[in-house]
């Protein structure tokens, strides 16, 4: 039975969300520490602190869902565009203009940039609302899928509202915005400015935007923390995980039991699959196919649980790939292909940090390896690939061929099996391919747990 804390798992998994947002790793964790320090100042109760803690940690759970739309609207790299947005006061027209000049179709011709600029300018308010709404709604729903409290989910939905009503998605003002959401909104901006320019800049930006972006009372409490506080030392990378663990109220620690771990794997599969319309339900289907193969091969139940979680999370590293590459309708160039080939490396890096997922981090990161050693990202030959890794590889290819891609239609089942049959014994493990072929025509049981 697992006794790991939910906060330990989620603080490690929050690195995946930082990648998607284009923020330095640890952004969500540091925002969490800043918000919890503010909670100390406000003398919040343990219940309030627990709800707030998870809202801060999972604030970007919806970040992948608007990535494709950001890429489409700006015509560039969604992660750069998202990061750039937080570095400016986008409600100030001069800064908004500077932002647009920097991020609107940066690689386009002057005419292309002008066209896109004009489109964005005429639909600015509705585009902003759409982008925030997608992210906030999805974030709240992912939080619910994780099984955290409803006030936590509501805070995530409203964290981009501003005190004077100029925020999104509803344009709520003052006390209409839940307190936790006001704290999350302030903490994330403070963290970004701390990371960019240091402690004084974090304090200054909150003071400067008080009454517009931020609740003036909260801004006052935050600025009263001052630049000499221990908080700023705790934000350093080496001490971050311990500091986050200490920030959770001890009276309200939530254990990550087996069913909670399944929920976490499923919730992050939703985050991954929301990144592109072409990967909709991919992780869930790979888990269902992998589980069916394992059943056919007689894999023991306990191993199947591990396999399903590895399958749900196998592409978590894809959150590092910009949508201009993921959704590109044509052939990828060499640099773009390099970025794609690195995604299993990020899967490993993310899962290896999570105590209860680290034991399948390697297997999950081998899902593009081939038994002839011609796969990526390590080029490991068959002898180095476990049964789990081999099953994941077959299930991944099966679903990738069965689903549409930006550059081709979905393939019929006979064609998919024929291609996989050609790879039997060269790219894919023959035992696994035989099991897959045996179950391919059966209805799959959803891996949704």
Residues that bind Fe ion (CB under 5 A): 315, 396
Which of 63, 312 has the CB closer to Fe ion? 312
Give the shortest CB-396-to-Fe ion separation in angstroms: 4
208/419 with CB nearer Fe ion: 419
Question: Of 340, 440, 436, whose CA–CA distance to 394 is shortest?
Answer: 436
Question: Minimum Å distance from CB 350 to Fe ion?
Answer: 13
CA distance 310 to 366: 11
Helix %, strand %, coil % for the chain, to 5?
Answer: 65, 0, 30
Rounded to a whole number of angstroms, the minimum distance from the CB of residue 352 to Fe ion is 17
Minimum Å gap between C-beta 286 and Fe ion is 6
How far apart, in whole angstroms, are the C-alpha atoms of residue 117 and residue 94? 15
Residue nearer to Fe ion on the CB measure, 284 or 315: 315
**Tokens in use for 17?**
């969300």
Residue 349 CB-half CA count within 13 A: 15
Task: Return the structure tokens found at 294.
Answer: 């394992």
- Give the span between the Cα atoms of 69 and 139, in whole angstroms: 16
What is each CA distance from 143 to 47, 56, 154, 194, 446, in whole angstroms?
17, 11, 9, 26, 21
Nearer to Fe ion, 36 or 397 (CB): 397
Q: Residue 105 to residues 76, 99, 117, 192: CA-CA distances in angstroms?
A: 5, 12, 8, 24
Q: Which of 318, 348, 350, 324 is nearest to 336 (CA)?
A: 324
Residue count of the chain, please give it. Answer: 449
Cβ proximity to Fe ion: between 230 and 408 the closer is 408
Could you tell me if residue 415 is left (phi over 0), alpha (psi between -120 and 50 degrees) or otherwise beta? alpha
Query: Min. distance of Cβ 400 from Fe ion in angstroms?
Result: 6
318 an active-site residue? yes
Which CB, 105 or 315, lies closer to Fe ion? 315
Marked catalytic residue, from 5, 82, 318, 331: 318
CA 81 to chain centre: 16
Give the nearer residue to Fe ion in terms of CB position, either 13 or 231. Answer: 13
How far apart CA 167 and CA 158 sit, in angstroms, is 9
d(CA 338, CA 333): 9
**How many Å apart are CA 203 and CA 211, to the nearest integer?**
15
């Amino acid at each position: 039975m697992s006794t790991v804390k939910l906060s330990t798992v989620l603080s490690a998994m929050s690195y995946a969300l930082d990648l998607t947002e284009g923020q330095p790793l640890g952004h969500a964790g540091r925002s969490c520490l800043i918000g919890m320090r503010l909670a100390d100042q406000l003398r919040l109760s343990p219940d309030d602190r627990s709800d707030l803690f998870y809202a801060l940690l999972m604030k970007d759970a919806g970040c992948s869902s608007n990535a494709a739309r950001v890429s489409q609207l700006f015509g560039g790299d969604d992660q750069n565009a998202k990061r750039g947005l937080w570095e400016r006061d986008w409600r100030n027209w001069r800064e908004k203009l500077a932002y647009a000049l920097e991020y609107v179709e940066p690689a386009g011709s002057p005419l292309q940039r002008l066209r896109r600029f004009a489109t964005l300018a005429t639909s600015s308010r509705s585009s902003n609302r759409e982008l925030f709404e997608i992210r906030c709604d999805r974030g709240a729903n992912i939080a619910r899928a994780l099984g955290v409290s409803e006030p936590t989910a509501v805070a995530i939905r409203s964290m981009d509202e501003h005190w004077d009503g100029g925020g999104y998605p509803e344009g709520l003002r003052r006390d209409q915005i839940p307190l936790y959401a006001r704290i999350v909104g302030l903490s994330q901006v403070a963290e970004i400015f701390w990371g960019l320019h240091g402690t004084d800049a974090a304090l200054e930006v909150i003071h400067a935007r008080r009454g517009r972006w931020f609740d003036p009372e909260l801004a006052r409490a935050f600025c009263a923390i001052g630049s000499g506080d221990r908080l700023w030392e705790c934000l350093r990378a080496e001490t971050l995980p311990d500091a986050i663990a200490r920030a959770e109220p001890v009276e309200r620690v939530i254990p990550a039991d087996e069913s909670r771990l399944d929920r976490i794997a499923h919730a992050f599969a939703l985050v991954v699959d929301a990144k592109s319309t072409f990967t909709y339900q991919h992780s869930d289907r790979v888990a269902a196919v992998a589980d069916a193969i394992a059943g056919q091969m007689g894999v023991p139940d306990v191993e199947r649980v591990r396999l399903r979680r590895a399958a749900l999370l196998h592409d978590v590293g894809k959150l590092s790939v910009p949508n201009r590459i993921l959704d590109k309708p044509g052939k990828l160039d060499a640099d773009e292909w390099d970025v794609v080939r690195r995604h299993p490396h990020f899967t490993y890096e993310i899962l290896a940090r999570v105590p209860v997922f680290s034991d399948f981090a390697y297997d999950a990161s081998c899902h593009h390896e081939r038994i002839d050693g011609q796969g990526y990202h390590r080029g490991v030959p068959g002898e180095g690939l476990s049964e789990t890794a081999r099953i994941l590889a077959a299930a991944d290819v099966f679903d990738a061929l069965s689903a549409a891609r930006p550059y081709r239609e979905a393939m019929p089942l006979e064609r998919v099996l024929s291609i996989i049959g050609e790879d039997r014994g060269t790219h894919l493990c023959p035992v696994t391919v035989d099991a897959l072929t045996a179950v391919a025509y059966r209805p799959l049981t959803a891996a949704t747990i």
